[in-house]
Structure 1
Amino acid sequence: MDKIISSPSKYVQGENSLDSLAAYAKIYGNNPLVIADEFVTKLVGKSVSRSFEAEALQFTMELFKGECSQNEIDRLIKVCESKLSNVVVGIGGGKTLDTAKAVAHYAKLPVVIVPTIASSDAPCSALAVIYTPTGEFEAYLPLPKNPDMVLMDTAIIARAPVRLLVAGMGDALATYFEARANSTSGNATMAGGAPTRSAQALAKLCYETLLSDGFKAKVAVEQGVCTKAVENIIEANTYLSGIGFESSGLAAAHAIHNGLTKLEDCHHLYHGEKVAFGTLVQLVLENAPLDEINTVLAFCDSVGLPTNLFAMGVEQIDHDKLHEVAQSASVEGETIHNMPFSVSADNVYAAILAAHQLGLR
């Protein structure tokens, strides 16, 4: 199996970098379709308009309706075609960005990704996660290439609610452990080959950065400021985790997340908050050393990530529903089967309950 590492063509991170969006985007096309939800449009719409006006570029701003579903993707493809757009720009959170990537893929256009939060590792990946219109996980959409550019404006991200940055840490937390499991099993990564040493090093650096700077970054963002710790965590959440997961592999943690979408009690949670608990479940499945589990629990507690079902909004333990979660997480084709041992739904159910109790303690 060939070793493969996959990444965006260009990654830009800096304070007020959104002001230069048009200057960067015009390399890829002179008539962009800009996709953003209503909140983000109100937040950055004027800055985006000024940027394109300064470069004398026409553009179309279209509202994203909130769910990365096939229906929404199809609607935006029609908008793209009607406006003769030649580049897609996605601005906002993970579902907006995944939608922009999917639209660009089907329309055969370049895509520029502009996160306004650092809540997941979605921006850098050649992957979109498709949900049903009601928000349940439906499928992964593998893409033939990574985004042409990812632009991170740290000033905007530092002013976002701290919970979003913490959710990104939860998503990033899984990167090293899933990479480790996938490397042991020898299965192909999301990039389609064996992991490179550089991708594995990025995954490990991601985990080390979370432990060293995660709490400091949370404190800074609570004050609405961007410190070196915040810069480091933005890079860890977005670039290190993005390259680390895609080129080193997914395993149990993200499969547990997908299973948890079956629980209505957890629908209010962000992706990374569920992935953080999924990481604990994976460590239980592996029978990881208690010291390692305690380190992860302490980190989650320090930044405010959920470590048990009650913290995720589950009011009563419903064993039938947890069996359904376990079955969904272990269906054929799920990433849980990248673990270096056979995993059944019963194994997952047991690990969920054990992880819940460890988190309570």
Structure 2
Amino acid sequence: MISPGRYVQGKGAIHRVGEFLAQLGSSPLFVADDLVWGFVGHDIEASLRKANLPLRRETFNGIASSREVTRLVDVIQQVGADVVVAVGGGSTIDAVKAAGFLAGTRWANCPTVASTDAPCSALAVIYTDDGAFEEYRFFPRNPDLVLVDSQVVANAPASFLIAGVGDALATWLEARATAQSHAKTMAGGLPTLTGTALAKLSWDILWENALPAIDAVRDHQVTPAVEKLIEANTLLSGLGFESGGLAAAHAIHNGLTAVDATHGLAHGQKVNIGSLAQLVLEGAPTSEIRDFIEFTTRVGLPTTLVEVGLDPDDTDSLRTVADASTVAGETIHSMPFDVAADDVVGALAALDRFAARVREDAKLPGPAPYQAPHHGAGR
């Protein structure tokens, strides 16, 4: 069981970042893109002044690639930072974790969205410069600090919170599969009862609070449901996936990144397709799959291939996804049965047609084709 050294969440938490960083070092380096820094930079600067800490900020260039990580290592060493702080989303956070480890510094995360469970973990997802999955990098420790300002999260577009629900819902589905197969977790050993229980707690909170929380965030309000959903997306999902285990859902996400059409999607949007495919692979009860489709459609997540830029009749693209998701070492091999590429192709095609039927029966909106932007990978 592994976890970050300290987790802080609440309205106005960003105003205390200097207080907590002073416990970690005396020369912090912040990494954030210009958009994010425009929202929170003034508050961070004021907090650092109060804590008698200097302010240095480096601009993040958009993708957690090997090239960007190497560049950040050079910056950390040049300025002599003893703690590096990511401010932003999952890509910024993963790049800073990887760079902080290589530079030999402590690292901290200030997520400004609750779109992934990246902030709490001791691993980073590294992409190519074009946004395709390249590798997982594992570190010997978790972040020293994760600080989440709930109001900052609520001020962001609701689409980020929605994506976080997609990422977090996979946590329990993958943890229960890992527990059944007795496979190793991302923490390096067998799943603990604690990690598996936290994954289930995350699932329960999501089903109870996601819809009212998303409605509140559309009006930039922080309600108890919003606080619960942020914690489920960030802390509970982070602890649950890392100490509970990953399985097919995230492997299929990684496979989806091998297709150019998906590169503008958020991480959690692709994971939701992976979760549905995992349920199909498991032969889960039809009622369970139907409930998942209806719920995640209401949340605003994709449940069909057309919504992630794929054609269910495009066998070549589905084969590309399947081949990438079943390579040796992928987490799909933590399932309690063998999964081949042909199985993934079949699951993807089957979920697409069934999801469309479920949505029609439930009088939910039909799937709209996804048009990928011409830049970057959503993470």
State the 1:137 CA deviation.
0.3
Residue ranges of structure 1 left out of the alignment (5+ in a row): none
Structure 2 partner of 1:134: 130
Q: Distance in 2 between matches of 1:57 and 1:332?
A: 46
Structure 1 partner of 2:249: 253
Structure 2 partner of 1:110: 106
Structure 1 partner of 2:182: 186
Q: Describe the SS at the equivalent of 1:324.
A: helix
Structure 2 partner of 1:73: 69
Q: Describe the SS at the equivalent of 1:189.
A: coil
Task: Give the alignment's TM-score, normalised by structure 2.
Answer: 0.93
2:57 aligned partner, one-letter code: M
Equivalent of residue 234 in structure 2, options 227, 234, 238: 238
Structure 2 partner of 1:288: 284
- For the pair 1:125 / 2:125, whether they are aligned, the reply is no
State the 1:314 CA deviation.
3.0
Structure 1 partner of 2:53: 57
Equivalent residue runs for 1:316-327 within 5 Å: 317-327=313-323
TM-aligned CA distance change 1:285 to 1:316, over 3 Å: closer
Q: Distance in 2 between matches of 1:9 and 1:19?
A: 19
Structure 2 partner of 1:277: 273
Equivalent residue runs for 1:1-361 within 5 Å: 5-314=1-310, 317-361=313-357
Residue ranges of structure 2 left out of the alignment (5+ in a row): 358-379
State the 1:264 CA deviation.
1.9
Q: Distance in 2 between matches of 1:316 and 1:196?
A: 38
Which string of whole-angstrom CA distances, capped at 9 and with x for unpartnered residues, describes residues 286-329 of structure 1?
00011111121121011110000112233674111111110111
RMSD across aligned positions (CA): 0.9
Q: Distance in 1 between matches of 2:36 and 2:264?
A: 19
Q: Distance in 2 between matches of 1:197 and 1:278?
A: 24
Structure 1 partner of 2:366: none
Q: Distance in 2 between matches of 1:56 and 1:134?
A: 40
Question: Percent identity, aligned pairs only?
Answer: 48
Q: Distance in 2 between matches of 1:279 and 1:316?
A: 17
State the 1:358 CA deviation.
1.6
Q: Describe the SS at the equivalent of 2:29.
A: strand
Q: Describe the SS at the equivalent of 1:292.
A: helix
Q: Is the Cα contact below 8 Å between 2:312 and 2:352 reproduced in 1?
A: no
Q: Describe the SS at the equivalent of 2:345.
A: helix
Q: Distance in 2 between matches of 1:193 and 1:324?
A: 31
Q: Distance in 2 between matches of 1:112 and 1:68?
A: 16
Task: Give the alignment's TM-score, normalised by structure 1.
Answer: 0.97
1:318 aligned partner, one-letter code: D
